[in-house]
Structure 1
């Protein structure tokens, strides 16, 4: 895929597999809802004490995978190799969480009576900004009859 096709594909998807390196050196893959900011960084949110945060504090590199398709001809995938930045400031966490595609449960309902409770929970959450430095992609729909 071209970079424009990759961006469009990532904009259309909702879930990403985030792979960090665990304390024993083994890959630690987890599915996460994500968003993309204006700079093209992938954004996730998680609890500050989660294993992925501990892993990224130790080694800020990650591999990210988005895939779709139920048949061979429909398979599409993007692998992103990225550097991670962990955001802990509650205001920046809340600001960045607005980019994440989700069921709405992670977003702050502005003006609602729950806004205070949600804001209070921001002190337990972190946002991770992944800056990709390499992409690998494939789109089997481009193969047509030639595979």
Structure 2
């Protein structure tokens, strides 16, 4: 007989669908004194991995350059029986390549501006693209490289 934990675990397809349908992630990095640094970020999926932009001088970037350990949590639900979530444990990669930065920035920026949200790599309005170039000038891309994924969906219980 399956344990309750096994019953509520999401399949890999359910995890992928859940992450694709969500847009906010809680990100934890390790501070210089070993304390967790926790923030919420808007994200997009880049090749199936959580990716977000942030200022190159942000605390999370400083932490990741010192220690790449990162944990991400995407969750949903209000009542206990509705709770769903995916926790990803692994490394945060700091990427300075402009092409993927702009792709993720277009998705996240559109969402934040209340515009129709493109998929990664879709063409964007030229005026929006010009503003995006300027907005991303001082930013880097962070991509979550998970070693372990834990999921739950209490609606299955």
TM-score interval for Structure 1 and Structure 2 normalised by the shorter chain: 0.7 to 0.9
- Separation of aligned partners in 2, 1:67 and 1:73: 13
C-alpha displacement at 1:115, in angstroms?
Answer: 4.2
Q: State the aligned residue count.
A: 141
1:34 is matched with 43
Q: TM-score, normalising length from structure 1? A: 0.84
User: Does the CA-based 8 Å contact 2:106-2:132 persist in structure 1?
Assistant: no
* Cα distance change, pair 118–11 in 1 and its aligned pair in 2 (3 A): closer
1:47 is matched with 55
Unaligned ranges ≥5, structure 1:
none
- Separation of aligned partners in 2, 1:132 and 1:68: 20
User: Does the CA-based 8 Å contact 1:36-1:99 persist in structure 2?
Assistant: no
Instruction: Report which of the two has the higher share of helix.
Output: 2
C-alpha displacement at 1:99, in angstroms?
Answer: 4.3
1:103 equivalenced with 2:117 (yes/no): no
1:20 is matched with 29
Give the RMSD, CA atoms, in angstroms: 2.3
Superposition pairs of residues 52-131 of structure 1, within 5 angstroms = 52-100=60-108, 102-104=111-113, 110-112=125-127, 115-131=129-145
Unaligned ranges ≥5, structure 2:
1-9, 118-122
C-alpha displacement at 1:59, in angstroms?
Answer: 0.8
- Separation of aligned partners in 1, 2:93 and 2:114: 23
Alignment deviations for residues 61-101 of structure 1 (CA, whole Å, 9 cap, x no partner):
20000111100110111100122211223344213323437
User: Does the CA-based 8 Å contact 1:43-1:99 persist in structure 2?
Assistant: no
User: Does the CA-based 8 Å contact 1:78-1:137 persist in structure 2?
Assistant: yes
Q: TM-score, normalising length from structure 2? A: 0.80
- Separation of aligned partners in 2, 1:118 and 1:74: 37
